Amino acid sequence: MASIIPNNLYRLRDRGSLCKAFGIKFVPSAAVVQIAQQSGFDALFIDLEHSTLSIHDASQLCTAGLLAGTTPFVRVPYQCGDGFVQRVLDGGAMGVVFPHVSTKDEAVAAAMISKYPPQGKRSMTGQLPQFNMVPHAASTVVGPANDTASTVFVMIETDEGLGNVEEIASVQGVDVLLVGSNDLSIELGVPGDFGNEGFKGALERVSRACRSHKKIMGLAGIYDRPEVQKWAVHTLGVGFMLGQQDAGLITKGARHCVEALREISSEVV
């Protein structure tokens, strides 16, 4: 059996712990991966949906993440095509995040392109980053790649997806149901109101589907709301959470710096 780099999501799930992800949408540098790792993040959420990052950028970030022990996952653009997904996986992603999954058929398609036969239809290539670029016989790659190096995240962020959440959660090969909080709250008519009872009820519905079908529940888009995040982890059983993205952290740090300088300057007589 080929030796594969471990996937922190499953390691932490088995311990009953939260997988904490660092989002990257602006900074295509190995340095930001090192910052994420040193800060204590377990995974990377590399965003190709809402950014101008390229597949090459994603691959370089994934490789840095693999070497740092910070498991890289990549969100692909909506309806990007099977070829795009295969390139992301071949570039080193340990899993793919599929946005706006609203039906069972869309979930099946996501799983199929992410897994090698007989589970799916992903095409085989050699010397994968997830296997440290060491050549292995295809027969030794398929099993471990399907088990731990091709995590399938389907994002529940539409009203239709919420309505079909039980069917989506039942799909073999889907590993994580990831709530896209901003888009889902907009669809529910309560944009950004994450304390709204209707929105919280939607999250509870996703949680029930995940528990019923033994999937991991994920949460993205809710930052600096510890009361909601704590409820999500301890009550809903969320096992994957996007903690923040590079853009948000830079902005928050910059504002804090400017506020401190303003306070200092206002004290100067």
Q: How far is CA 35 from the centre of its chain?
A: 18
Whether 56 is catalytic is no
Dihedral angle, C-alpha 23, 244, 9, 14, nearest 10 °: 180
50, 56, 234, 256: the active-site residue: 50
The amino acid at residue 184 is L
Backbone φ/ψ region at 250: left (φ over 0), alpha (ψ -120 to 50), beta: alpha
Q: Which residues of 159-174 are buried (b: 16+ CB within 10 A; e: fewer)?
A: eebbebbebbbebebb
* Contact yes or no for 176/208 (Cβ under 8 A): no
The span from the CA of 162 to the CA of 100, in Å, is 10
Is 212 strand, coil or helix?
helix
Strands 19-24 and 43-47: what pairing? parallel
- Could you tell me if 129 and 74 are in contact, meaning their C-beta atoms sit under 8 angstroms apart? no
Place of tokens 């036969």: 117
Question: 130 near 177, Cβ under 8 Å?
Answer: no
Q: Decide: 4 and 133 in contact? Cβ < 8 Å.
A: no
Q: What is the DSSP letter of 30?
A: H
Which are the catalytic amino acids?
50
